[in-house]
Structure 1
Amino acid sequence: MATTQHYMWAAGHFILLISALRYLLATVLFRGPSPWWYKTAFTGALASYAIVCQKSLGTPQFNYAWFTRSMADENVQYLLLALFWWTSKPIALALVPYAIFSLFHALTFSRTTLMPQLLSQGPPATAGGPPTPHPVQKKLQNWVKANYDTAMKAVAYTELLIMLRVLLGAVTFQNSLLSPVFYAHFLRARWYQSKFTQAAIVQVNLRIEGYVRAPGASPVAAQVYDRFKAVISRWAGSIIAPQGAAAGARRQ
């Protein structure tokens, strides 16, 4: 039985998804999207992620152990990032990862909680067992399973594009100078925690390597890129492409 808190969590994701789609559609169609939809989308994100963080971490405690544990939690990282975006000048691309996450959460909530109340369930497969889900629920479950990895790869690449966007935005004064700094720390955490982010970075690195080391390319380009990687590696505390991640990326 879904609790009130669970419904509030789902409501946050539905609000995020609908508002993000409205804002992104207006952006794509050059219709001058209202910042209200942007704020509303991240308000939904803040509500949903706050509920998840409270459930996983409990009441905030003012001690180092709790702080360390919370900062290592992916949901806390996305909660803090959502708060940062909520207080910053709108960047449409920032909505995309959250919208993808919310799409899968909304579909799963619909399948497991809403559809059993709206669609007729089949007889139990075994005596005393739960009712058999409606065929629509099964199709939805299969779609989510089949497309989850692809969606997470899309999130990883989009998050790298956001890094490029905020870097260019800082140079052209379209966003604050703090944005690339804050977002770089977020990506550093994703590097350690997400195999999809690791694979995306490995693939981007290989693609750039192909350009800067191509026959006829200026050796200066390779030298500059090598120095850039060295700086990033020292800052991140690891080499740019661990053997495991690189091998996994090449197999994909």
Structure 2
Amino acid sequence: MASTPSSNKTTPSKSNASTNPTRSSGKTDWVSLFQTLHFAWFLGHVLTLLGGLGYLLTIRSSGAINSFFYNAVFVGAVESFGVLLFQSYTNKTLSLKPLDLLALENIQYFAIAALFLTILPHIAIAVVPFTLFSVFHALSYTRSNILPLLNIPATATVSSKIADFVKTYNDKSLFLVSNFEFFTLAIILVKALLFRKGYWIAAAIYTVFFKLRFEKSIFLRSVVKSWEARIDGLVSHPSLNVAVKSNWVQVKKLIRTYGGKPILATTASGSSSSNPSTPQKNE
């Protein structure tokens, strides 16, 4: 589970509250909120969410605006995951052993977001997982931290609808994320085989990321198995050339031979049941 951005709330001083207690107290609560790492984490997700929406709206454009929104997605992701890693480091809960670092979801997503921002090719669907994460994190933070300061109780309709939405669609979104990660890998590998510029490096990097996620995420393992079954069904069709079937069998054998050994031997059977970068309130 991810580290928790602490709230670091401060108590309003008596002198500030003497003239207008209600207004002063409310203002101080907002200022205190803005000063927390938790809020900085939230801002990263807001940036990612706005970047994802802007990228979707400008997807038909190949100009600077579209690139700006693409980069905004990963800047926000680097910031939000970076906040958690920074807090883990300062709290001395972050192990600096290489295998321990590789096992952390926050490290995995921080690294791949930073690489998409800097050296990896522009891949449209790569923005989707980060945008989906941010939808749920931003909604959860708004319900837990923003609405109370607006004097909207947890029993209010808007708060209840947010809670129901997150509860209903969180796991479904993780399956969707896993599918997009699978498609991202497929696109990268196909373009690498076509010798597109930069894609062999991208294939090496993203394959490692995908393997680490596969070892940690029950959702990704389920997605891979479902697509394997679909392809098995397609190649088993009687009208398909026998050579295609044979090649598919060889491909699966190669994948199991060279990709079957876990990178994280002690966590290969681990599972992921929540969005990475999920804060646990630690007042």
Question: Which interval holds the TM-score relative to the shorter structure?
Answer: 0.7 to 0.9
- For 1:18, which of 37, 50, 74 is the aligned residue? 50
Q: Answer yes or no: is 1:151 the counterpart of 2:173.
A: yes
Q: Answer yes or no: is 1:95 the counterpart of 2:123.
A: no
Q: In structure 2, what residue type is equivalent to 1:146? A: T
Matched ranges for 1:33-182 at <5 A? 33-58=65-90, 66-87=97-118, 88-121=120-153, 132-170=154-192, 171-173=194-196, 175-182=198-205
Q: In structure 2, what residue type is equivalent to 1:2? A: S
Whole-Å separation in 2 of the counterparts to 1:168 and 1:154: 21
Whose RCO is larger (CA < 8 A, sep 6+)?
2
User: Corresponding residue for 1:129?
Assistant: none
Instruction: Indicate if the aligned counterparts of 1:169 and 1:175 stay in contact, CA closer than 8 A.
Output: no
Compared CA separation, residues 41 and 60, structure 1 to 2 (3 A): farther
Whole-Å separation in 2 of the counterparts to 1:18 and 1:205: 34
CA shift, 1:36, in A, is 1.9
Compared CA separation, residues 221 and 238, structure 1 to 2 (3 A): farther
Whole-Å separation in 1 of the counterparts to 2:191 and 2:260: 26
Instruction: Indicate if the aligned counterparts of 2:102 and 2:212 stay in contact, CA closer than 8 A.
Output: no
SS of residue paired to 1:217: coil
Q: Comparing both structures, which one devotes a greater share of its residues to helix?
A: 1
CA shift, 1:163, in A, is 0.8
Whole-Å separation in 2 of the counterparts to 1:57 and 1:70: 11
Compared CA separation, residues 234 and 22, structure 1 to 2 (3 A): same
Instruction: Indicate if the aligned counterparts of 1:24 and 1:92 stay in contact, CA closer than 8 A.
Output: no
- Normalization by structure 1: what TM-score? 0.82
Whole-Å separation in 1 of the counterparts to 2:250 and 2:100: 33
User: Corresponding residue for 2:274?
Assistant: none
Structure 1 unaligned spans of 5+: 122-131, 245-252
Structure 2 unaligned spans of 5+: 1-5, 9-35, 263-268, 270-283
Instruction: Indicate if the aligned counterparts of 1:8 and 1:48 stay in contact, CA closer than 8 A.
Output: yes
Instruction: Indicate if the aligned counterparts of 1:213 and 1:219 stay in contact, CA closer than 8 A.
Output: no
- Normalization by structure 2: what TM-score? 0.74
Whole-Å separation in 2 of the counterparts to 1:120 and 1:21: 27
Whole-Å separation in 2 of the counterparts to 1:168 and 1:222: 19
